Amino acid sequence: MTNAVFHSEGWPTLMTSEMAARYLSIGTEVLIQLSVRYSVHAVEFEDTELRWRKQDLDRLVKKLPLVTDLPTIVRPARLI
């Protein structure tokens, strides 16, 4: 991917499914499941392989639900 446009963080603007999954730290199957659930779509590229826009992946992360009630074990101890 020598002609890729990179953001300052080092990730390209368009990513393959494998790279997009790595960017999100998930598997490709989970990427597909989340994209369907939260209506985030890949784009078609000239070689017919799907590409994911970084901005859409970031939007997907923002759509994920927050965990508001973590078990006591996971929460850090209160500092007094």
Q: State percent of the chain over pLDDT 70.
A: 75
What value does the mean pLDDT take over residues 27-35?
97
The length of the chain is: 80
User: Residue 69 domain-assigned?
Assistant: no
Domain that holds residue 57: 16-63
* Number of domains observed in the structure of the chain: 1
User: Residue 34 domain-assigned?
Assistant: yes
Q: Between these two residues, 38 and 4, which has the higher pLDDT value?
A: 38
The pTM of this model reads: 0.72
User: Residue 21 domain-assigned?
Assistant: yes
Q: Give the pair of three-digit tokens for residue 38.
A: 């939260």
Q: Which of 22, 18, 26, 14 is nearest to 51 (CA)?
A: 14
User: Residue 5 domain-assigned?
Assistant: no
CA dihedral sign, ordered 17, 21, 24, 27: positive
pLDDT digits 0-9 by tens, 36-75: 999 999 998 777 788 999 999 999 999 999 877 766 556 5
Mean pLDDT of all residues in the chain?
A: 84
